[in-house]
């Protein structure tokens, strides 16, 4: 029997999963990755550690599955859209202001380049039309601009700049083909113009101060591109030995981790349905909202339209929230009742959110309406979309002198609801521009949170589908390997065969929907108010 390996490199760990041709998970493994934070808004990693973790996770998956390396026909990689900088002979080039040589990765969530993003947006250019009109500091060109200015020695010795998913393919195969997914979504490559460098806008690169990236036919950022799932080479002797696989195993063009989640979920229980009515929500540390359209749909503040980054011939829209699970964690951690409740949860072998869920049910039979006076503005780490304003910050309204666990439960519920309203805002803007999304396919850690699912369904009015598959992101990457191995003719056909079924959560409507409508108006008002506060303070500075 053939198997396909999916490797997912997230923010805090590398994971690997082995699947058969029906999408059944046979074995998995995980290995942690350290994040280093030398300054506020900085987040760095080491590519060498990432690769070591990938290999450890792969070996663990093989051992758990009990399969031979020879049964693995193809490998697919996905990862966060982090920046990797390489020098001569693929040596790491430091991205750290402290100069640590092995810290060669700027993590996706690093916001050191906010000023550069704003300057690029002020300059403008055609590529910005395909990222919602505004480039994000989480994308690579602002980070490269920062690197060139702030670390000129690193810039001078750098030979290649990689998105992490592409670097993994390169590390595994020695080849330099980049995926459309990474280059289009995070590097402003216009994928609809071709696969051989035609999509780079050299005038734009020159105007924003990165014209040297066009030298040598764009060798530093990608001369040859491929659709996700296309063969990109085979495992080298070294990589195969490190991973516990066989040299010559097919390796596919990669995906960004959220897009792997879209591949692993959009086909769940779809049958003959229309995939363009579905929005994949990958909800973990952050949240990504990815949907497909047959024609380009331009939505201000929403990334895309991106051509060919998920499925061939389809355009993709990508909304997102820069903090989701991370926001829930932060709101809980700052509360006085968190530490004792966390200790209680640990003693019971549970998560603190399990205890908060239970506590809410003791406060009212219908818990959704407990937050009539408690409201959260969730942009603690900026607004990725649809406002596309990374300078925004969050707020909690309706606080009292209470500081016990019941008060923490209200903060928790209001935060979950605020994330749901953020999703509603994104969907509203997509629909206003012509998209037809009415079903949300949920994956990621928060897909296991029953309260999060219920509040999102009720707040958006959309039906939610939760895959039976417990590792849909890994499955999405494994599908890439199955296509590269030649066992499926396309990613779409692999989705049909491997996505499986799922459960549904329907919106309750009625009085609950009306309650969320009112809360949503408060949510939007709080966004407007924060912008007004910022304007007032800017005027104060000007008056001095």
Q: Per residue in 144-157, pLDDT tens?
A: 999 999 999 999 99
Model confidence at 59: pLDDT above 60:
yes
Q: Are the CB atoms for 482 and 494 separated by under 8 Å?
A: yes
Tell how strand 278-283 and strand 439-443 pair up: parallel
Q: Are the CB atoms for 383 and 132 separated by under 8 Å?
A: no
Res. 193 pLDDT band, cuts 50 70 90:
very high
Last residue of one domain, picked from the residues 201, 232, 256: 256
In the chain, % of residues over pLDDT 70 = 99
Q: What's residue 280's pLDDT?
A: 97
My answer on whether 235 and 346 are in the same domain is no
Res. 12 pLDDT band, cuts 50 70 90:
very high
Structure-token match 């499925």, residue found: 311
Res. 282 pLDDT band, cuts 50 70 90:
very high
Average pLDDT over residues 376-397: 95
The CATH number that applies at residue 90 is: 3.30.420.40
My answer on whether 332 and 190 are in the same domain is no
Which CA distances in Å does 539 have to 215, 395, 542?
Answer: 44, 21, 5
My answer on whether 48 and 176 are in the same domain is yes
My answer on whether 243 and 332 are in the same domain is no
Q: Which residue(s) pair with 443 in the sheet?
A: 282
Q: Within a domain: residue 81? A: yes
My answer on whether 216 and 365 are in the same domain is no
Nearest to 27 by CA among 69, 55, 53, 61: 61
In the chain, % of residues over pLDDT 90 = 97
Query: What distance in Å separates the CA atoms of residue 110 and residue 120, rounded to the nearest whole number?
Result: 17
Tokens representing residue 399 in the block: 């606080």
Query: What distance in Å separates the CA atoms of residue 223 and residue 219, rounded to the nearest whole number?
Result: 6
Which CA distances in Å does 237 have to 20, 209, 247, 289, 456?
Answer: 24, 40, 5, 38, 47
Tell how strand 44-45 and strand 178-179 pair up: unpaired
Q: Within a domain: residue 304? A: no
Query: What distance in Å separates the CA atoms of residue 25 and residue 298, rounded to the nearest whole number?
Result: 37
Q: Within a domain: residue 316? A: no
CA 163-165-169 angle, to 5 degrees, is 115
220-279 pLDDT, tens digit per residue, is 999 999 999 999 999 999 999 999 999 999 999 999 999 999 999 999 999 889 999 999
Q: Within a domain: residue 167? A: yes
Tokens representing residue 193 in the block: 């113009």
My answer on whether 351 and 239 are in the same domain is no
Model confidence at 403: pLDDT above 90:
yes
The CATH number that applies at residue 386 is: 1.20.58.2240
Average pLDDT over residues 354-365: 97
Q: Within a domain: residue 459? A: no
DSSP string, 428-462: HHHHHTT----EEEEESGGGG-HHHHHHHHHHH--
Q: What's residue 523's pLDDT?
A: 98
Q: What's residue 83's pLDDT?
A: 98
Average of per-residue pLDDT values in the chain: 96
Last residue of one domain, picked from the residues 203, 230, 256: 256
Residue 285, C-beta contacts closer than 8 angstroms, at least 6 positions apart? 10, 11, 12, 109, 323, 324, 325, 326, 445
Res. 353 pLDDT band, cuts 50 70 90:
very high
Residue 64 CB: number of other CB atoms within 10 A? 16
Res. 544 pLDDT band, cuts 50 70 90:
low
| Helical segments of 298-404, H only | 325-333, 338-347, 352-363
My answer on whether 17 and 158 are in the same domain is yes
Residue 107 CB: number of other CB atoms within 10 A? 22
Model confidence at 541: pLDDT above 70:
no
Q: Within a domain: residue 84? A: yes
Model confidence at 32: pLDDT above 60:
yes
Nearest to 371 by CA among 416, 338, 335, 336: 416
Tokens representing residue 502 in the block: 């799922």
Q: Which residue(s) pair with 377 in the sheet?
A: 395
Structural domain boundaries enclosing 339: 325-426+509-543
**Alpha carbon distance, N-terminus to C-terminus of the chain:** 74
Residue 201 CB: number of other CB atoms within 10 A? 18
My answer on whether 336 and 191 are in the same domain is no
Please state the length of the chain: 544
Model confidence at 543: pLDDT above 70:
no
What total of structural domains would you count in the chain? 2
Q: What's residue 272's pLDDT?
A: 86
Q: What's residue 365's pLDDT?
A: 96
Q: What's residue 54's pLDDT?
A: 98
Tokens representing residue 394 in the block: 């969050």
297-351 pLDDT, tens digit per residue, is 999 999 999 999 999 999 999 999 999 999 999 999 999 999 999 999 999 999 9
Q: What's residue 542's pLDDT?
A: 54
Query: What distance in Å separates the CA atoms of residue 218 and residue 201, rounded to the nearest whole number?
Result: 11
Q: Are the CB atoms for 488 and 494 separated by under 8 Å?
A: yes
Model confidence at 426: pLDDT above 60:
yes
Buried-exposed string 282-311: b where 16+ CB fall within 10 A, e elsewhere:
bbbbbbbbbbbbeebbebebbbbbbbbbbb
Q: Within a domain: residue 178? A: yes
My answer on whether 340 and 218 are in the same domain is no
Q: Within a domain: residue 229? A: yes
Average pLDDT over residues 38-58: 97
Last residue of one domain, picked from the residues 232, 256, 280: 256
CA 180-184-189 angle, to 5 degrees, is 105
Name the DSSP class of 229: T
Average pLDDT over residues 292-296: 97
Q: Are the CB atoms for 278 and 291 separated by under 8 Å?
A: yes
My answer on whether 25 and 131 are in the same domain is yes
Phi-psi region of 246 (alpha: psi -120 to 50; beta: other; left: phi over 0): beta
Which CA distances in Å does 467 have to 262, 448, 460, 462, 500?
Answer: 11, 10, 19, 16, 7
Q: What's residue 539's pLDDT?
A: 76
Res. 540 pLDDT band, cuts 50 70 90:
low
Q: Which residue(s) pair with 86 in the sheet?
A: 92, 160
């Amino acid at each position: 029997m053939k198997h396909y390996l999916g490797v997912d490199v997230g923010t805090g760990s590398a994971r690997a999963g082995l699947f058969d041709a029906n999408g059944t998970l046979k074995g998995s493994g995980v290995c942690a990755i350290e994040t280093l934070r030398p300054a506020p808004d900085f987040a760095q990693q080491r590519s060498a550690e990432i690769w070591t973790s990938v290999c450890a996770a792969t070996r663990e998956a093989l051992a758990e599955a009990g399969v031979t390396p020879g049964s693995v026909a193809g490998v697919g990689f996905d990862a966060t859209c982090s920046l990797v900088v390489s020098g001569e002979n693929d040596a790491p080039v430091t991205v750290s202001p402290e100069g640590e040589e092995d810290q060669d990765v700027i993590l996706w969530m690093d916001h050191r380049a906010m000023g550069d993003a704003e300057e690029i947006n002020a300059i403008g250019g055609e590529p910005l039309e395909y990222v919602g009109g505004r480039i994000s500091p989480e994308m690579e060109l602002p980070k490269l601009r920062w690197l060139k200015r702030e670390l000129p020695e690193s810039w001078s010795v750098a030979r290649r700049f990689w998105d992490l998913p592409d670097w993994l393919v390169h590390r595994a195969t020695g080849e330099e083909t980049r995926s459309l997914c990474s280059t289009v979504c995070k590097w402003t490559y216009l994928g609809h113009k071709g696969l051989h460098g035609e999509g780079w806008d050299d005038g734009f690169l020159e105007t924003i101060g990165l014209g040297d990236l066009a030298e040598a036919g764009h060798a530093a950022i990608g001369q040859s591109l491929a659709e996700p799932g296309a063969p990109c080479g085979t495992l080298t002797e070294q990589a195969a030995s490190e991973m516990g696989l066989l040299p010559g195993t097919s390796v596919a063009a990669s995906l960004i981790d959220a897009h792997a989640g879209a591949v692993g979920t959009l086909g769940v229980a779809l049958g003959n349905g229309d995939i363009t009515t579905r929005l994949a929500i990958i909800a973990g540390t952050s949240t990504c909202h990815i949907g497909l359209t047959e024609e380009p749909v331009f939505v201000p503040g929403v990334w895309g339209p991106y051509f060919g980054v998920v499925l061939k011939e389809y355009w993709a829209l990508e909304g997102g929230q820069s903090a989701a699970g991370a926001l829930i964690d932060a709101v809980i951690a700052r509360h006085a009742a968190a530490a004792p409740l966390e200790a209680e949860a640990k003693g019971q072998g549970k998560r603190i959110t399990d205890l908060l869920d239970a506590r809410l049910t003791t406060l009212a039979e219908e818990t959704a309406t407990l937050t009539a006076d408690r409201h959260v503005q969730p942009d603690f780490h900026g607004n990725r979309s649809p406002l596309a304003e990374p300078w925004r910050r969050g707020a909690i309204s309706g606080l009292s002198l209470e500081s016990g666990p019941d008060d923490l439960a209200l903060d928790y519920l209001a935060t979950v609801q605020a994330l749901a309203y953020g999703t509603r805002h994104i969907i509203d803007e997509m629909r206003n521009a012509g998209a037809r999304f009415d079903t949300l396919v949920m994956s990621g850690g928060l897909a296991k949170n029953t309260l999060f699912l219920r509040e999102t369904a009720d707040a958006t009015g959309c039906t939610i589908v939760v895959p039976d598959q417990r590792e849909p992101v890994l499955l999405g990457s494994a599908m890439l390997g199955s296509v590269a191995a030649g066992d499926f003719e396309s990613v779409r056909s692999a989705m049909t065969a491997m996505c499986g079924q799922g459960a549904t959560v329907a919106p309750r409507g009625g009085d609950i929907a009306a309650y969320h409508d009112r809360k949503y108006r408060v949510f939007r008002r709080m966004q407007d108010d924060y912008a007004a506060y910022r304007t007032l303070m800017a005027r104060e500075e000007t008056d001095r």
